[in-house]
Amino acid sequence: MEQILLLTKEYSKNRHLEMIQRVSNNVMDELELLYDTTWEINKHIAPYEILTQLMDCYYCLPERPDLASLFCWQAINNSYNQYLLSDGNFLRLSDTKGIDVLLKHIHLRYGKYGVYLDKYYDKIYTKSYHYAASYILKGHVIKKAGFADKYASSSYTTFVKKFKNLYNVIADSYGKAYEQVTAPGLNGNFVKLNISNCDKSRKIIYSLALKLKNLMTGMSVNITLKNATSQTTSVILTDKERLEFLVYCILYASRCNNFHGSVASRLNSRYADQESYITYMNIFLVEYIILAISLNERGILSDNELLRMKRNESLMMLVNIGKNM
């Protein structure tokens, strides 16, 4: 906090960059840039607005992958808006409808696009799943305590709507366990969880995070319900559900919380560390391939250029997750 106060009182860009913990590599030295040489011949098909957003992505890298991911999402936003603008059945632009249409198009050709996404599912850093597990469980206990919808994050609400069956399993297992260590109460404009056992709270979140990670890599997981018989239920996600969870519950959830100022700036936070940096570098790279896929699906990026983009999966950074789980 002292560094934040000092920087906002007497700002220095160099000191700011020194404060941001990051890994030493420069992703821009190795990143395969999203580009199609045919755009030089037919400039009218070049995605002008998207290219301007990509320039801002590159400007932010390697120091600020969190900001680069925001600009990359704006490019994705532009891409899925085109589906709505070209369809007379849609009377207004909507993120939810646009994302749904984009995901529908990708899933219809999953035999082609799944090979681009599978490697990313395997390498998404565990901290992203900690984040998802945390907002799911926090939203659950806030709603269970009877607070108004505004106190639960929109990410939680979206998860419940999109994954009702999975949420019911989580609510009857991890949710009930989390209820036992929290006593939500209003503290000013925020709900404070009043956690009674921080160690147990962390273990519950980390355990759920690992289950989510395993589900996203295509595994079947067993979850024990908190009922009289301690029933165990088996859960697996379809390709369609994995794609929806990736886009809605990780990428879009991160975008919304950052964009709407719901959380501290990710790499300026007092809790920011190298894991935070790696998490957002990976989020940016996942968004980058989804943007490329969306342009290919719309006929703007050729198959050969999309295939070239596959090399970027090697830039996904892995960190030993043993100490976190």
Give residue 263's pLDDT band: very low, low, confident or very high (50, 70, 90).
low
Please, which residues bridge with residue 186 across strands?
191
**Average pLDDT estimate for 231-256:** 94
Determine the pLDDT at residue 24.
65
CA distances from 94 to 19, 81, 116, 266, 267 (A): 37, 8, 27, 26, 29
Give residue 275's pLDDT band: very low, low, confident or very high (50, 70, 90).
confident
Most confident of 22-26, 214-218, 228-232, 259-263: 214-218
Give residue 4's pLDDT band: very low, low, confident or very high (50, 70, 90).
confident
Provide CB contacts within 8 A for 107, sequence distance 6+: 239, 240, 243
Determine the pLDDT at residue 178.
97
- What's the alpha-carbon Rg for the chain, to the nearest Å? 21
pLDDT digits (tens, 9 = 90+) for 144-203: 999 998 898 899 999 999 999 999 999 999 999 999 999 999 988 889 999 999 999 999
Give residue 268's pLDDT band: very low, low, confident or very high (50, 70, 90).
low
Provide CB contacts within 8 A for 110, sequence distance 6+: 239, 240, 243
Q: Over pLDDT 70: what percentage of the chain? A: 92
Please state, in angstroms and rounded to a whole number, the distance separating the CA atoms of residues 225 and 171: 9
Question: Which tokens belong to 110?
Answer: 């999953």
**Residue 320 reports pLDDT greater than 50:** no
**Residue 319 reports pLDDT greater than 50:** no
Identity of the amino acid at 260: H
Question: Which tokens belong to 276?
Answer: 């935070």
What 50-56 contacts at long range (C-beta under 8 Å, 24+ apart), as own/partner pairs, is 50/75, 50/78, 50/79, 50/291, 50/295, 53/78
**Residue 280 reports pLDDT greater than 80:** yes
pLDDT digits (tens, 9 = 90+) for 13-58: 888 777 776 776 789 999 999 999 999 999 999 999 999 999 999 9
Determine the pLDDT at residue 166.
97
Of the candidates 114, 75, 107, 81, the one whose C-alpha atom is nearest the C-alpha of residue 95 is 81
The predicted model scores a pTM of: 0.90
Please state, in angstroms and rounded to a whole number, the distance separating the CA atoms of residues 220 and 214: 7
Please state, in angstroms and rounded to a whole number, the distance separating the CA atoms of residues 121 and 90: 32
Please state, in angstroms and rounded to a whole number, the distance separating the CA atoms of residues 190 and 214: 32
Give residue 322's pLDDT band: very low, low, confident or very high (50, 70, 90).
very low
